[in-house]
Structure 1
Amino acid sequence: MALNAIADAVPPWAEFRRIGARAAEVDAVLVRRSGSFTRLFELEVLHLADEVNVYERARGKTLPTCCPDRHINADSSFCLGLRAGEGINSATAAAWWTKLHAFLLCQETATETGLWPSGAQLSHGDAGDVELLAEQAAAEAGAGAAYRDAVEFDIGPIAAGLSKVNKATGRLRNGRSSCLCGRKHRTGKPLLRRECQRLGCPIELELRRRAEVDRFWRSMSSLPCCGTMLECPLKATAPSS
């Protein structure tokens, strides 16, 4: 059972208490990189169906009850990563604790700065799956760094290539031209855009990721903004006081 595996892998920074067959409590205090301690996080862990979910025990005591920008879902569960709560066993439980550790440290940064740490997140919703595909495609093209620049800062050749995509088809124009992502044949010859498309062009995937991100935030527009983040898209939809 997932909670048994989690209990067997408890790290030094957490105290784990079973309170039922499918529920447990966790008290966590982490050490920051500076050597100082974080706040005490009082958490609830529930094994629901085939997934383990984590919540703050007293919702809203230390963290917002909901904040997509802080990876706290509408039901107050924590988003520790793509499908992080699924398939937990003795081989994967330590990785689950590692994800929870990173999540809580990021929450401290978000509380203090209003920003989520750069490079410490995956796109929300279905965009996360697309981002993973794009990262793999970019790595195969030798453009991993350029892809991260496009995602995080909207700069570089991947970001610039978005203007060359036909929005109606989602494909780069001029399929007989060399692909703008820089992917090459094994011989070193540049791949044509139509050839790159069949392999998954990171430019086209990035356009698709951005569309999925926009769709996600539109689906969240009815949620109230918690007001703790500097650049949260929900601020634009929050009613004025």
Structure 2
Amino acid sequence: MSTTTDRSTIESLRNRASEVGALVLSSTDTQLEVSLSILRTSGAVVPFALHIECRKGLLTVHEVRSRHLPEFCPERHINDGGTFCLYWKPLDGIEIDSAEAATEWWSTVVAFLRLQLRAAKLRRWPNRRGRAHGNAAQYQHAAEGFARQLGLEDDLLEGGLRVVKGGRGAFGRALRLLRRGHKILSVWQEVSRVVTVRRPCICGQGDPPKAMICCGDHAAVASQLVSSIDKMQQLEAAFMDMYADRQCCGTMDECPLKTEA
């Protein structure tokens, strides 16, 4: 049995479908099937047949048949079962509680499908706003905030920051922060503290740059950045391990599900 929220959500989406050129093919209290055409930059039109469903407040959308998109691809933000990963709900989720919200949701679907067409051609995700998978997203969001304070947000968004294990010392294991493959900082993992606080701050501000210990709270922020990236990487790897037995769809050049030939 459908809930009032489910019926209201589907009704709002049905009423606003035409605003993005979606043609409603069928409708019930909890489901919609629509035809939605996406215009390529070349001028070609790609028609998508979409199934939209709202059950117990959970709104999902997927292709009726996997015609243009793979049935599952973490790198293309397509969940197991083919549903689209449109947003990370705690930060940028859309609650369909108004006509304007329904319009925003449809616009998000259109933008997602445009990115999918570009991804299929480029064989990589075309923008820098893709979320990490599963619970890793919350640590990615935290890392973005810390990186922004240090002037490293672009590096993080472009995949240029990575944490690797270093050696052991007086305070246990050190974690190394790599920027484009080069170490820029080490942090003691157990005490979450920069190994050498008298080194120039990684924010690069000042001429000459200040030592980290003298550069506001940047030493503490840097240690939080490293901890967040490390946790994000761990959870991302655990997510991929859950699908280790799944075959890669082969549509992306880089994918953790690929096996060596």
Please report the TM-score for the alignment, with normalisation by the length of structure 1. Answer: 0.79
Matched to 1:164, the amino acid is: S
Matched to 1:191, the amino acid is: G
Aligned to 1:104: 113
Aligned to 2:72: 66
Aligned to 1:147: 156
Aligned to 1:206: 229
Decide whether aligned partners of structure 1 residues 195 and 156 sit closer, same or farther in structure 2, where only a CA change above 3 A counts: closer
Aligned to 2:125: 116
Matched to 2:107, the amino acid is: T
Q: 1:88 is matched with which residue: 92, 96, 101?
A: 96
**Does 2:230 correspond to 1:221?**
no
The secondary structure found in structure 1 opposite 2:46 is coil
Decide whether aligned partners of structure 1 residues 87 and 123 sit closer, same or farther in structure 2, where only a CA change above 3 A counts: same
**1:190-217 per-position Cα deviation (integer Å, ceiling 9, x unaligned):** 13566337xx732332222222211111
The secondary structure found in structure 2 opposite 1:27 is strand
CA contact (8 A) 2:194 2:219 kept: no
Shift of 1:157: 4.7
**Does 2:53 correspond to 1:53?**
no
**1:125-178 per-position Cα deviation (integer Å, ceiling 9, x unaligned):** 1111211122122223443223324x25769759755761345x3834427557
CA distance in 2, matches of 1:181, 1:47: 47
CA distance in 1, matches of 2:185, 2:150: 19
Shift of 1:44: 0.2
Amino-acid identity (%): 22
CA distance in 2, matches of 1:47, 1:183: 49
Aligned to 1:5: 12
Decide whether aligned partners of structure 1 residues 120 and 176 sit closer, same or farther in structure 2, where only a CA change above 3 A counts: closer
**Does 2:23 correspond to 1:15?**
yes
Aligned residues: 229
Where structure 1 has 5 or more consecutive residues not aligned to the other structure, the ranges are none
- More strand by percentage: 2
Report 1 or 2 for greater relative contact order, CA contacts < 8 Å, sequence distance ≥ 6.
1
Aligned to 2:256: 233
Where structure 2 has 5 or more consecutive residues not aligned to the other structure, the ranges are 1-7, 163-176
CA distance in 2, matches of 1:179, 1:170: 21
CA distance in 2, matches of 1:170, 1:75: 42
Matched to 1:89, the amino acid is: D
Aligned to 1:28: 36
CA distance in 2, matches of 1:94, 1:203: 38
Aligned to 1:164: 186
CA contact (8 A) 1:22 1:47 kept: yes
Calculate the aligned-residue CA RMSD, in Å.
3.2
CA distance in 1, matches of 2:34, 2:200: 50
CA distance in 1, matches of 2:199, 2:217: 4
The secondary structure found in structure 2 opposite 1:30 is strand
Larger deviation: 213-222 or 79-88? 79-88
Shift of 1:41: 0.5
